[in-house]
Structure 1
Amino acid sequence: MSQTTEQDLTLLLEAAEAIAGLETAEDVLWYLVRVVHAHFGPEAVSVARVEEDGSLLFCAALGGKAEQVIGMRLPPGTGIVGWVAEHGTTLWVPNVAEDPRFYVSVDKSTGFETRAILAIPIAVRRRVLAVLEFINPSPGVSVEETSALVQVLALLAAPAIQNVELTRQVTQIQERYRRLFDLNPVSIVVLDDAWHFQEFNQAACETLGLQPEVPESLRLERLGIEGDRLPELAQRAAAGEVITWEYEIPDLGRMIEARFSQLHGYVLDGPTYLWIGYDITDRVAQERTRQELLSMVVHDLRAPLGNIISGLELLLTAYEEGEEDLPFAEILSISLRSAKRLDQLVHDILDIGRLQARARSLLLTEFDVGALVREAVEMVVTMAEHSHQTVRIVLPEEEAVMMQGDLDLLRRVLVNLLDNSVKHTPEGGWIEVRVQREGDVVHFSVTNNGPPISPAYLPHLFELYFTGESGRRRGTGLGLAFCRLAVEAHGGRIWVENPADEGPVFHFTIPQPPLGELVREQGDAA
């Protein structure tokens, strides 16, 4: 074996070992450039990587003007390097000046003179990954032998480049999967056939409290899996069934909807199972609130409806039996007030949604404030008298106060505040409505001699569905929310004062004229 052959074999063995330990395609290409430049001594060596769009990016170079070449990009098929990339064959051009494929612009931009090029593709299964250019070989170098040796180096480099690229892609996919896995708001747990936890995401850790120190048995309980259910779950999952159930984690105060199935394609020897958990705590609470609200709405509707039915039954009996001494006017008055109360409740429910969506236009009229207050009091006086309560009206002593506003909405605001006071005032107590003009606003207040409101509930009084303290008579949680929306639609303000030694005082002010965004004159109302 000649010394040259031994040197070549040593070069190839060292190259194979070195390339196997490199981590990126960039590292492999740079190694190839350094080895070729050091071993064969041409004026310049460069490598152009074939990009996804077919363009060629010079990513490594040594020798003349190398620093200007690195980073240069050529369109697909450009120059000798582009031709080799497209055809996948080695090309020796001893005189580039006579070859029309030579791209002279690179020399012009760098000031380097290219005389001859040996271009060798670095390819895997006919897919060219990069092209190595051996520029201006040293005198006396056998191009044929050089080409053969460099092609072997290219053969060593190509699969390494592909492998490190595949490894990079797999790593990126794994990282992307891990991010998606951990960022998924749904709790995900993977179990093996011995019911050991293989992995779980951040949502499972936070929702179920799956810290590392939690014992495996308790972890299964957090998944809603009792020990005696394991064989049944495994059997049903093996049959392709997705088992669903709901359960509570008392110590965490959470309700979970769980789904359990067999997981195929996971890298484990035995069966693997996928547990997915949805935190339905808020949904269950909302459903419970909805049911409670429905019950309370029905309860509040039944009272006036019962009065109407009772009144009609009395009138029907009197008609059938010819009774003439019944207080017909009083019965009809009670029934009418109850019907109006029923109508108000229905309108409150409907208008809350419209006011929230700003779809309820104000119907502006001018009216006497005193008449408005008396109408509102008339609608609750029967209920107040039933509890032996007194309702007082305090108006300015001077001439009648006139104001602009949506008469129906403001009447219902007052009725709701009065109704709230009647409910929370003790038997034999009193309720007072006070109105006064203060500059450019009309100021209303409703107070009573009932107990003060718990300070903890004050920030929530005007929130939708807030029903207050359990010790108080509970309503639907709609009345005060409606008041807030109706007052704010006028550009006004509503608030409550809560003296420690007196009953609460509800205030609201309506600017004159109203400042609401959705104001319509009554004649223009849609």
Structure 2
Amino acid sequence: MATQDTGPKPPRAHTDEGLRTERAKSDQEYAQRQSSIEKGSDAAIDKARGQADEALQAARDTADGRRARNAAPVAQETLTQERATEDAALQGERDTADAELQDEREERMLALAALLHLERAETDLRLSGERAQADEALATRDNFMGMVSHDLRTLLGGIALQAALLKRGSGEDEAGRRATQAADKIQRFTARMNRLIGDLVDVASIEAGHIRVAPALQDATALVKDSVEAFQPLASAQGLTFDVELRGNTLMAKFDHERILQVLANLLSNAIKFTPAGGRILLRVEPVDPDVRFSVADTGPGIPSHQLEVVFNRFWQARSEDRRGLGLGLYISRGIVEAHGGRIWAESGSDQGSTFLFTLPGAPASAT
């Protein structure tokens, strides 16, 4: 099975996209503002020229009225030619002034564009340097985390093995029963620590933009069966009803079984954690062309609508006073789902229960 390094865009990709968007918006606003200023300037010039032309024409009309009674035809013709010459000269001066104004505007625009380019180039250079330092720091962190997680898992594996041996060698007397209980606790604690280490490694991979998934075309029914087997006992122990709905004749989708099982585990464990006894949890899977959609609904206290956009952020907690876990499960789930090319979201409201939904690419028509 080929493993692909893929995933949601890393934070810097969103930063770059946001920077490009802001720059384009700034350029557009500047161009609109500049155009408005130039139009206002042109309108003011045109208005002043129009008023000057009206005043000149009025003066000429008055003078013409006085001269018409006394001037000879030849003198009147000469006056008309002189005025035509004056008008042509005036228009020539205005054309020259307009050309000079346009040249000044173009020179100013080129100078401002060059200055803006230099400023942005300097910003990009600083950003590139900062990112190079950040990349080096992230590489160091990832290498360190890889070594530490390996060593810790090795130690945890040894602890779990010793706990299993202790449990196996315990007798049937009271001391043996206490030893067995202690061994069970040790195994549960080591399993939780191992999951925590895995979560931290996954967070680092998501941030770097290369979480590993190995999607393959398979039936989601087996995935649901594994989830039910894992969480039905826990739900029953909490006094909850756990129902499953499989809709459609086929639920073929392309996914990494273990990774999507991890997503369902996060969603179901949250539902069980926050739903009071007597409540209900519903796991539904259905085809929604061209995808397959999963949903986990509960009858818990729900999530305020204004928080639905942030529930998938790192370290988010339903209630600040309730610190069960690190708040990484939903963040990791989003990274895994998006690495498959799917989408995950939440629907809820205060005292309305919560529903978490995600989609996975369905089977092509030729494969069903």
TM-score range, shorter chain: 0.3 to 0.5
The structure, 1 or 2, with the larger RCO (C-alpha pairs under 8 Å, 6+ apart) is 2
Query: TM-score with structure 2 length normalisation?
Result: 0.47
**Structure index of larger Rg:** 1
Query: TM-score with structure 1 length normalisation?
Result: 0.34
